[in-house]
Amino acid sequence: MSAVPRKVLSVLKGETITPPPIWLMRQAGRYLPEYRATRARAGSFLDLCYNPELATEVTLQPIRRYGFDAAILFSDILVIPDALKRNVTFTEGHGPQMTPIQADEIDSLKGMEIFPHLDPVLAAVSGIRAGLPEETTLLGFCGAPWTVATYMIAGHGTPDQAPARLFAYRHRKAFLTLLDLLADLSAAYLVRQIKAGADAVQIFDSWAGVLGEDEFEDFCIRPVQRMIAAVKAECPATPVIAFAKGAGYLLKTYRRKTGADAIGLDWSVPLAFARELQQEGPVQGNLDPMRVVAGGAAMLEGADRILDALGHGPLIFNLGHGITPQADPDAVSQLVAHIRKDMA
């Protein structure tokens, strides 16, 4: 560990820092012209994810441009299904697609190796850490088992995850087996990222918000708790951020039940509730990405509300989900400057 303080890492360990550190989900992405140029060189999205040199380059681009306090590995949550030979592809305008898994296929995943297939991603982690300023935190990440399973079952993204929900009701034993398999593989993947140079890791449960209370407990909390326990068993000092998008009031016990060090908040989480959650530890979020697209007063007023509500406790300023391709890079510059100036 560097002797130079890494602000995001400090907040993840419970410190309050003013102004709060900032990074943005999907900060390396299509809104940046330098990303689009690198993406064109790569050939395909997955080729970019598996090219250590280019994945390192796009991860570092927003750090060079904005000086964010954290970089997050450029990859995708679906590299694990890809490593499990589910024929993952990304088609422009159609999103990710893969061969849907059937209930009687799940046992065949047992014992499958995801390495060395994912070794290029780990090489990128090492390259990114070497290229980052000492003070910049490096975040590794993966998808949560529920969210990854939704794609594996439907074979593509869906608005309400009905295929996965139906599968879980009709084939509960097979579904829970799939979640456990994904939890174990994902934990092993995160541990490898940490050993390659990640300072902390984030687990993305992007589709947590479609589940009822009992299903959230069984399909989101239980497998994420299993993951975090496995990560902490090997890397006890490494902080874990858990982001259950759309979970709402179910976040009240999410940190305690999963063992997460910090929780990410989407933009629908009321700030009064966010303050309650912050009493138990660090929070991350939660500006609406559309405010960045709108820019100007809408963006800055939204940021100020978050800073007023959460800036006096352990906070990592972020969006409530990923930055969109429509965002103006100059608006992001204004946002970063505003946060650092107004609370300095």
Residues of the chain with pLDDT under 70: 1-2, 342-344
Q: What angle do CA 245, 251, 255 make, to 5 degrees?
A: 105
Q: Is residue 2 part of a domain?
A: no
Report the catalytic residues.
Answer: 26, 30, 39, 76, 151
Q: Is residue 24 part of a domain?
A: yes
For 279, phi then psi, to 5°, come to -65, -25
| pLDDT confidence of residue 342 | 54
Starting at the edge strand found earlier in the chain, the sheet holding 240-244 runs 70-72, 137-143, 200-205, 240-244, 262-264, 283-287, 315-319
DSSP 8-state secondary structure symbol assigned to residue 21: P
Q: Is 65 exposed, middle or buried (0-12, 13-18, 19+ CB in 10 A)?
A: middle
For the chain, where are the alpha helices, taking DSSP H only?
Answer: 7-12, 33-42, 45-49, 52-66, 79-83, 119-131, 145-154, 162-170, 172-196, 213-215, 222-234, 254-258, 271-278, 289-294, 296-310, 329-342
| pLDDT confidence of residue 16 | 98
| pLDDT confidence of residue 92 | 77
Q: Is residue 86 part of a domain?
A: yes
The CATH number covering residue 300 comes to 3.20.20.210
Global pTM value: 0.97
- How far is Cα 18 from Cα 340, in angstroms, rounded to an integer? 8
Q: Other CB atoms closer than 10 Å to residue 326's CB: what's the count?
A: 12
| pLDDT confidence of residue 4 | 79
| pLDDT confidence of residue 327 | 98
| pLDDT confidence of residue 93 | 76
- How far is Cα 101 from Cα 109, in angstroms, rounded to an integer? 10
For 193, phi then psi, to 5°, come to -65, -45
Q: Is residue 1 part of a domain?
A: no
Total domains in the chain come to: 1
Q: Is residue 261 part of a domain?
A: yes
| pLDDT confidence of residue 2 | 54
Domain that holds residue 69: 7-342
pLDDT tens column, 264-315: 999 999 999 999 999 999 999 999 999 999 999 999 999 999 999 999 999 9
